[in-house]
Amino acid sequence: MNAIISASDLAKDLAGTRPPVLLDVRWQLTAAKAAGEPPFDGRAAYEAGHLSGAVYVDLDRELASAPGKGGRHPLPDLAQFGDAMRRAGVSAGTPVVVYDGGQGWAAARAWWLLRWTGHPDVRVLDGGLPSWEGPLDTFVPAPEEGDFVPEPGAGLLDADAAAALARSGVLLDARAEERYRGEVEPIDPVAGHIPGAVSAPTTENVGADGRFLPAGELRARFEGLGVTEGARVGVYCGSGVSAAHEVLALAAAGIPAELYVGSWSEWSSDPDRPVAVGPDPR
């Protein structure tokens, strides 16, 4: 099953006999906003216009726990995550399509969580809301409660597993190159990267329109980063959000990958963890 869906295919599915549940996960990294600007309000954006029938999901409150030792966006409490998904109408036997404001990071986080906890049919709208050419709705639906019960599976890395994977497989760093090299660090306490990790900015997985590159181009990109057939692949970023987008890109290219959710925000908070700087992985 493809991990992404085009706006035209989504329109066909919504008009079909088995329409997907729609989740609106609009979110922005507040720390990246200019000083003095109010934080982005995803719910307000949702209420101003969304795909008809879509339910708003709050990344910070429903797709993550409170910041702490586990990073800035640690895993959510699974009971609360399950409650949120069921309130949104998610059932195990119903397809789900997730979208955000176009960047794709937040939608990918929801996609990864649902896939990791056992949902068999989840896709991300390629290009997000800007790719949708149909009308938007301001009505806030109250869907019938779903029956989805999250059951964690494989594909999750902790700090020790990420460190080991950087030595034995391919660990991709999805942050901007200057953060990887340790030249700047606008958010976390220490600059640099996990020793052995390879710089692979997630922004290079999409074109100018915000849509994913074709699968063949994505495969070629990852092969150029050392992802050979059969290699074990992991991804991290700042706090496990943009890295989920890279896991999604890898899935679109037919490459399974694991996610280090704690990512650099967890790694850099431990003074005993080694840090590498510069363009070289080591």
The active-site residue, picked from 22, 237, 243, 257, is: 237
Determine the residue type at 8: S
Respond yes or no: is residue 237 known to be catalytic.
yes
Q: How many CB atoms lie within 10 A of CB 12?
A: 11
Residue 94 CA to residue 109 CA, distance in Å, equals 19
For 103, list phi and psi in degrees, rounded to 5: -65, -35
The answer to whether residues 180 and 195 touch, using CB atoms and an 8 Å cutoff, is: no
Strand, helix or coil at 257? coil
**187-221: buried (b, 16+ CB within 10 Å) or exposed (e) per residue?**
bbeebbbbbbbbbbbbebbbeeebbbbebeebbeb
Residue ranges of E strands in 113-270? 122-125, 156-157, 170-173, 198-199, 233-236, 258-260
**Nearest alpha-carbon partner for 97 in 168, 192, 9:** 9
Q: Please write down the long-range contacts of 176-179, taking CB distance under 8 Å and 24 or more positions apart.
A: 176/201, 176/203, 177/201, 177/279, 179/238, 179/264
Determine the residue type at 93: G
Percent composition of the chain: helix, strand, coil (DSSP 3-state, to 5) = 30, 15, 55
Tokens (6 digits) for 122: 């989840």
Residues with catalytic annotation? Answer: 237
